[in-house]
Amino acid sequence: MTYTPGPWSFFEDEERQGHVYSANNCKIHELFEGTERDRANAILIAAAPELLEALESIADQLERVGDSRKDRPFVESARRAIAKAKGFES
C-alpha cells in the first residue's frame, strides 16, 4: 500500500469547507460540516506524512543508539503505529 507523498496542506475555503491537498495538488481529504472537530481532524490528516516520517526517524535512531532495555517499549510502540499507518496492522 502506498500513499500520496507529502507534504500535505490544509485549506479552508470561504464556505468553511476544509480540504487537504498534496504538494502536487492531489485532493487527499474533504470535509463539509465545518465543525471545529472536523477542522482539527483535517489538520491532523494534513500532518500525517510528516508525522510518519518523524516517527520512523526517531524509532530508527533509538534502535541505533538508544538504551535497548529502557527504550525498547517506545520503539515497539512506534513500530506498531508505523505499521498501522502503512496498513500492515489494524
Residue 90 falls inside a structural domain? no
Q: What phi, psi does 82 have (nearest 5°)? A: -65, -45
Q: Which helix (H) or strand (E) holds 8?
A: strand 8-12
43: which 3 cell numbers?
Answer: 489538520
Which domain covers residue 68, as residue numbers? 8-85
Q: What pTM did the predictor assign?
A: 0.83
pLDDT of the chain, 90 residues: tens digit per residue: 688 989 999 998 888 888 999 999 999 998 877 788 888 989 999 999 999 999 999 999 999 887 878 889 999 999 999 999 998 875
Q: Which helix (H) or strand (E) holds 70?
A: helix 68-85
Residue 16 falls inside a structural domain? yes
Longest dimension (CA), the chain: 52
Residue 37 falls inside a structural domain? yes
Residue 3 falls inside a structural domain? no
- As for how many domains the chain has, the answer is 1
Among left, alpha and beta (phi > 0; psi -120 to 50; other), residue 34 is: left
